Amino acid sequence: MSIDSKQLGPYGGGSYTSSHNQTVKLNEVSLSHLKPGLNEEEVVLGKVVCTVQNEDSVPFTFCLVDKLGTCVVVTVYNLADGKGVIIGNSVAIPEPYVTDVNFSYKDNEYKFRLIRVETPLVMVVNGKKVNRDLQAGVQMSIFKKFD
């Protein structure tokens, strides 16, 4: 499993310029370096090692491993139906929002770290910024209520 900083794409080099022409400083860090909450001015890079099947399509869930072997769960919201990452993809996530999950169930203890991604548009996959076709569209349903 090769993880190379070149796969950071536009997030490489220590900064990123947004579409609004704002420059954001980004330092590549390991997954173990992250703290709970928002990790400003940091970016993580890893490989997808599995996807987690979910009866609901939201969120899209996968496991990401960095070059040190640290594994986290990633949940991606607002992803278009039928879209996502696959095993072996490199994924970079800027300013990750982290939650430490810790619970017990049937005498077993479960502890893991979770990164929540609000929109796939912030991710870089295989060195390229994600296209807008991965963003879920707006859906509206209208019904008429009869008395």
Q: Which residue has the higher pLDDT, 71 or 146?
A: 71
Q: Which domain holds residue 81?
A: 5-121
Which single residue is written with the structure tokens 């400083």?
Answer: 25
98 within a domain of the structure (yes/no): yes
Q: Is residue 139 part of a domain?
A: no
126 within some domain: no
For residue 69, what are the contacts with CB-CB under 8 A and spacing of at least 6? none
Domain annotation covers residue 39: yes
- Classify residue 7 by its DSSP letter: G
The three state secondary structure string of 55-72 is CCCCCEEEEEECCCCCEE
pLDDT mean across residues, the chain: 88
Does residue 9 lie within any of the structural domains? yes
Q: What is the pLDDT of residues 33-52, one digit of tens each?
A: 999 999 999 999 999 999 98
CATH number, residue 105: 2.40.50.550
Could you tell me if residue 146 is inside a domain?
no
pLDDT of residue 138: 60
Report how far apart the first and last C-alpha atoms of the chain are (Å, whole number): 62
| 104 domain-assigned | yes
pTM confidence score: 0.85
Average pLDDT over residues 135-139: 63
How many domains are there within the chain? 1
Q: Is residue 54 part of a domain?
A: yes
